[in-house]
Amino acid sequence: MTPPPNAPGTSAPARRLRADAQRNRDRILEAARETFKAHGADASLEEIARRAGVGIGTLYRHFPNRNALLDTMFRESIDALCAEASQVSDSTDPYGAFVAWLRAQLQHAMTYQALAASLMISELSDESPLNACGEQSACSALRATADAQLARAQAAGVVRSDVDADDVMRLVNAIALTSEDATDGCAAAERLFGLMVDGLRVAPPP
Amino acid sequence: MTPPPNAPGTSAPARRLRADAQRNRDRILEAARETFKAHGADASLEEIARRAGVGIGTLYRHFPNRNALLDTMFRESIDALCAEASQVSDSTDPYGAFVAWLRAQLQHAMTYQALAASLMISELSDESPLNACGEQSACSALRATADAQLARAQAAGVVRSDVDADDVMRLVNAIALTSEDATDGCAAAERLFGLMVDGLRVAPPP
DNA sequence: TACTATACGGAGGGTACCTCCGCTTGGCAA
DNA sequence: TTGCCAAGCGGAGGTACCCTCCGTATAGTA
């Protein structure tokens, strides 16, 4: 018999948590979301603990390091992104679907600013402390989705066949990364995104 | 009568330095180059001071903040980059010249890893603490060069006319930024660079 | 109600940032 | 040569952050 689901709170680790622990965990995640959004990826963990109203020791008990916290935060939003992708896959326009998904991913990357990128990077470079914190990483799920989306567009002959998902993901992250600090972040990103998409497309025959 | 040049050492600030001060300044810059290269843009300034054999106070006297130090370090290498550009401008192949210059810039950005990008970003977003540290910033010189290179290629009709230097610079920095931590940094960068260049080119008429 | 595995929280040791100010010294004028 | 002092040195010290450790508290069960 499977154990009962883990209370209304956010995603749960392997073992069932005590009620107070679950409550604190949720508070920490909420505080982390706010604080990271306000101060970037290297916001103070102590401030997060303060904001959550727990001791610093409690934060570290739940999340042994900064990346563990980030990883948990993103798993949810990335899940949403992947879900969106599988919806979009049912559409009949392969190129439009591909671009739409890319744009959603850009949006996501920009929202989470450098955080997503820093996770992505530490993962790609295989020194990933993330892999230590459980199951399949959020990042590889995203990768798999990107693979599928790209393969579909390539099979339909609308996207260059000599790029791989890695290239595309990096470009998107790159655009988010360099545009976010510009004075007109969104406009800059949109311009670069347009360039990228044009570059990826297979030109319709003359 | 112009004052005498400032000893054999590296670039000099407005007022003539005392001999010991100039010596320490050079040592600090040398230590900074090594340390930043080894530990990235957020290497410890105290370690730099230790390595240079000076007190931390001396480091701060010469460079009031981390960015001032970075800025000085890059000014030299960026000067070299600009010089290269003006050489290349004499070439007869506008597209080749443009791409060659872009590649040099990519090379530079990758060598200096995140450092260049972080300078670039804090400058573009106009909260630049850099502007406080003297004259025209290294970055705007680079920008001017980029403008010239791009204008030349566009005038020759080989590069899309709807991109500006900002776009191009961001793309290059973005590629360097996201590729450097990948397991195969150089190969990844080269692939993305190829994509970018293809995207920028005006296709020859069918 | 009593018991204990689980969880809490913050003191404490380490590192880094940056400032401040008393001491030292290079370079010039007499 | 000597004396002077502006320019420069350096490190103690206050603040902030990271992360660990361990004595105390309590949720959940028997």
Q: Does A67 touch chain B (CB under 8 A)?
A: no
Q: In terms of Cα–Cα distance, which of A192, A158, A169 is closest to B200?
A: A192
Are B193 and B173 in contact, with CB atoms under 8 Å apart? no
Instruction: Write the residue in B167, B179, B206 that is nearest to A170 by C-beta.
Output: B179
Encode pLDDT of A126-165 as tens digits: 333 333 333 345 567 778 888 888 998 999 999 999 988 8
Choose between B93 and B130: higher pLDDT.
B93
**Residue B136: HSE in the Cβ half-sphere, 13 Å Cα cutoff:** 8
**Mind spelling out the 3-state secondary structure of chain A?**
CCCCCCCCCCCCCCCCCCHHHHHHHHHHHHHHHHHHHHHCCCCCHHHHHHHHCCCHHHHHHHCCCHHHHHHHHHHHHHHHHHHHHHHHCCCCCHHHHHHHHHHHHHHHHHHCHHHHHHHHHHHHCCCCHHHHHCCCCHHHHHHHHHHHHHHHHHHCCCECCCCCHHHHHHHHHHHHHHHCCCCCHHHHHHHHHHHHHHHHECCCCC
Choose between A85 and A69: higher pLDDT.
A69
* Beta partners for residue A201, in sequence order: A159
Residue A183 is predicted with a pLDDT of 53
Note the CA–C1' distance, B20 to C24, in angstroms. 12
pLDDT (mean) for A161-186: 76
Please state at what angle helix B66-88 crosses helix B113-124, rounded to 10 degrees.
100
Encode pLDDT of A36-82 as tens digits: 888 877 899 999 999 999 999 999 999 999 989 988 887 777 877 88
Percent of the residues in chain B that have a pLDDT greater than 70, as a whole number: 72
In this prediction, residue A1 has a pLDDT band, given cuts at 50, 70 and 90, of very low
Contact call for B199 and A203, based on CB within 8 A: no
In the predicted structure, residue B191 carries a pLDDT above the cut 90: no
B residues 109-168 lying closer than 8 A (beta carbon) to A: 117, 121-122, 124-126, 163, 166-167
Strand C nucleotides where any atom sits below 7 Å of a protein CB = 6-12, 15-21, 25-27
Encode pLDDT of B29-74 as tens digits: 999 989 988 887 789 999 999 999 999 999 999 999 988 998 888 7
Could you tell me the maximum CA-CA distance found in chain B, to the nearest angstrom?
Answer: 66
For tokens 């069932």, name the residue.
Answer: A16
Tally Cβ neighbours within 10 Å of residue A4: 7
Choose between A70 and B127: higher pLDDT.
A70
Encode pLDDT of B133-186 as tens digits: 333 455 677 788 888 889 989 999 999 999 888 888 888 877 877 765 555 567
Q: How many angstroms away from the CA of B51 is the closest CA of chain A?
A: 26
Q: Which range, A105-109, A156-160, A166-170, B53-57, has the best average confidence (pLDDT)?
A: B53-57
Strand D nucleotides where any atom sits below 7 Å of a protein CB = 7-13, 16-22, 26-28
Residue B92 is predicted with a pLDDT of 72
Residue B44 tokens read as 């410890």
Instruction: Write the residue in B167, B178, B199 that is nearest to A174 by C-beta.
Output: B178
Choose between A139 and A121: higher pLDDT.
A139
In the predicted structure, residue B7 carries a pLDDT above the cut 80: no
- Within 8 A by CB and 6+ apart from A126, the residues are B183
Residue A24 is predicted with a pLDDT of 97
CA dihedral B168, B199, A192, A72 (to 10 degrees): -110
CB burial of B75-87 (b: ≥16 within 10 Å; e: otherwise) equals beebeebbebbee
Residue B97 is predicted with a pLDDT of 86
Residue B22 is predicted with a pLDDT of 96
pLDDT (mean) for A87-114: 79
Encode pLDDT of A21-34 as tens digits: 999 999 999 999 89
User: From the candidates A178, A179, A192, which should be mutated to test the interface with B, based on the most B CB atoms within 10 A?
Assistant: A178
